[in-house]
Amino acid sequence: MAATHMTGALTLSDHVFGGLVPRYRAALLVVAGALFVAVAAQVSLTPPQWYANVFSSIGLPIEGTPVPITLQTLAVGLTGAALGSRLGTMSLLLYLFAGIAGLPVYAGSVGDILSGEVAFGATDGSLWGGATSFWSMPSFGYIIGFVIAATLIGRLAERGWDRSFLYTALAMLAGSVVIYAFGLPWLHMSFDNMTISLTLDWGLWPFVPGDILKLLVAAGALPGAWVLLRREPKLKESEDQL
């Protein structure tokens, strides 16, 4: 019975935007998902000193990491779950190639342009500018991981995993593992004489507490959205009876 319930499920976007013409709906959702991740990428967080001190006290110095701390992973997880595996993958691919094409979608790009540090189109990841190209970005492996994570989380959402707190948390955890599986090796190969220990200090440990918090946010938000969708027909039925 449980296996039947967990397969063939529709995603949130299927329910919310199901009335739109399919081809227009797909284009709209793919672009909206990419924009959502791009906006989240601009929300850069600098850990306070006490946060760095806590890690230093247990032998894990995290200051100086070249990987930005943003809300991207939360946006990736929500996008994959809401859009499903196919549209979620397309949305994150659009995000990836938009940055390579020079659009200011990667972490901190908008701020760099507004501050005058770089010109439009020359932000990190761009093929055309003087800034760091995508293959030299220490964090580009994480962006590749975003695409695969969105595919995985979307597939799990299609099986109904985004309808309970526990399964949503597990889906987000699986997505995070995928992101690090791509991000950490790329970071390691981006620097000469890079050690595994330093790779983890820069690319994993600083993000674990934030990832746990974002996982909990997604695990509450997605099932909560499904609860609201289930209540909506009942609410309309009650209004019709009145």
Query: What pLDDT digit, counting tens, does each position of 32-42 carry?
Result: 999 999 999 99
Q: Of 43-57, 60-74, 170-184, 216-230, which has the strongest mean pLDDT? A: 170-184
Which region, left, alpha or beta, applies to residue 66 given φ > 0 means left and ψ of -120 to 50 means alpha? alpha
Q: Please determine, for residue 234, whether its predicted confidence score (pLDDT) is greater than 80.
A: no
Torsion angle of C-alpha atoms 154, 159, 164, 170, degrees rounded to 10: -60
Could you give the CA distance from residue 33 to residue 223 in angstroms, rounded to a whole number?
A: 19
State the CB neighbour count (10 A cutoff) for residue 171: 27
Section 166-175 average pLDDT:
97
Indicate the range of 27-36, 78-87, 139-148, 202-211 predicted with least confidence. 202-211
Residue whose entry in the numeric block shows the structure tokens 């004489």: 193
Crossing angle of the two packed helices 72-100 and 165-189, in degrees rounded to 10: 40
Range 106-125 burial, b when 16+ CB lie within 10 A, else e: bbbbbebbeeeebeeebbbb
Q: Tens of pLDDT along 142-152?
A: 999 999 999 99
Contact at 8 Å (CB) between 221 and 213? no
Name the residue among 205, 217, 222, 219 with its Cα closest to residue 69: 205
Residues in contact with 151: Cβ distance below 8 Å, sequence separation at least 6, in sequence order: 80, 85, 88, 89
pLDDT-derived band at 235 (thresholds 50, 70, 90) equals: very low
* pLDDT, mean of residues 55-78: 80
Query: Quick one: average pLDDT of 3-30?
Result: 73
Q: Dihedral of the CA atoms 11, 14, 16, 20 (nearest 10)?
A: 160
pLDDT of residue 61: 65
Q: What percent of the chain has pLDDT over 90?
A: 52
Token digits for 185?
Answer: 């090796």
Dig out the tokens for 69 from the structure: 């701390």
Q: What distance in Å separates the CA atoms of residue 133 and residue 170, rounded to the nearest whole number? A: 34
The yes-or-no verdict on residue 47 having pLDDT over 80 is: no
Given pLDDT bands bounded at 50, 70 and 90, which one contains residue 63?
low
Sign, Cα dihedral of 118, 121, 127, 133? positive
Mean pLDDT, the chain, whole residue set: 85
pTM given for the model: 0.85
Q: Which residue, among 138, 56, 144, has the nearest Cα to 96 in the 3D structure?
A: 144
Lowest mean pLDDT among 47-56, 81-90, 135-144: 47-56
3-class DSSP assignment, residue 151? helix
